[in-house]
Chains A and B, each alone.
Chain A
Amino acid sequence: DAGVIQSPRHEVTEMGQEVTLRCKPISGHNSLFWYRQTMMRGLELLIYFNNNVPIDDSGMPEDRFSAKMPNASFSTLKIQPSEPRDSAVYFCASSSRLAGAGNEQFFGPGTRLTVL
C-alpha cells in the first residue's frame, strides 16, 4: 500500500493567491482528516470527513479555508485568498471506522506551505 499521498510536497505562493492542497487516503479507509502544524500552535485538526461527508469543521480558521471530498479516494483543502499567517505544514490522515480498528490514523508526508 502506498500510504496516504499528499501533493504538492512544497508550495510557495504570494499573498492573495489561491492555494489547493490535495490528498489521496489509503484505499478502504472511510475517515479523512486535515491538520495544520505550526511551531506556535502545534498540531491542529481543521476538518474531518466520514464516508465523504464533513462531520466536524470547527477547526477551520475562517471562511478563506474550504475542504471537499468528492469521492472516497480524493480530498482537497483550499485557501482563497492566502495570507502569510497561513504558512504551515498541512497534513492529511485517514483511518478506518470499522469496529475494533482502534481509530488509528495514518498520516501523509505533509505539504509545506509558504505564503510570501
Chain B
Amino acid sequence: GDSVTQMEGPVTLSEEAFLTINCTYTATGYPSLFWYVQYPGEGLQLLLKATKADDKGSNKGFEATYRKETTSFHLEKGSVQVSDSAVYFCALSEIQGAQKLVFGQGTRLTINP
C-alpha cells in the first residue's frame, strides 16, 4: 500500500539556520503531497501542498517541491525561527480507494535562540 517515510527526529537547530526535513513516498500513480505542522497543544494545520509533479508548495518561508523521479517532497526553510518549533508531518493523498491521507511518523523540530 501507499506509504510515507520521514527523516527521524528530533531535530534541533539554532535560530537562522537552514532547515531540511526529508520525506519520501511510495504510491500508485501520482498522489497529492502535503506538509502539516502541529504546534504544542494544537491540532495539525496544513503548511503547504503540491498536487502534481514539479509543483512547488510554499508558505511562511517553507518550501517543498514534488519530485516524481525521486518520489520525494523534502521540506526546506532558509532561516528558521524559534516560533517554527513544532512537529512536522509529511502526507500523501491516496489516488484510489478511500482517498484518505497517509501520514509519515512526524519529525519534532526544536529551534534554540
Contacts and interface: CB of A to CB of B under 8 A. Distances in A.
A102 B44 contact: no
Q: Chain B contact residues: over half helix, strand or loop, or mixed? A: strand
A15 to B, nearest CB: 25
Interface of A is mostly: strand
A25 interface: no
A42 B45 CA distance: 16
A51 B44 CA distance: 23
Interface residues of B, number: 20
A42 B107 CA distance: 11
Interface of A: 4, 33, 42-43, 45, 48, 50, 55-56, 91, 93, 97, 102-110
Residue among A43, A50, A106, A109 with max Cβ neighbours from chain B (10 Å): A43
A12 to B, nearest CB: 16
A42 B105 contact: yes
A50 B100 CA distance: 10
A9 to B, nearest CB: 10
Contacts of B103: 42-43
B32 A103 contact: yes
Contacts of B94: 103
Given A102-B32, A104-B49, A109 B99 contact: no
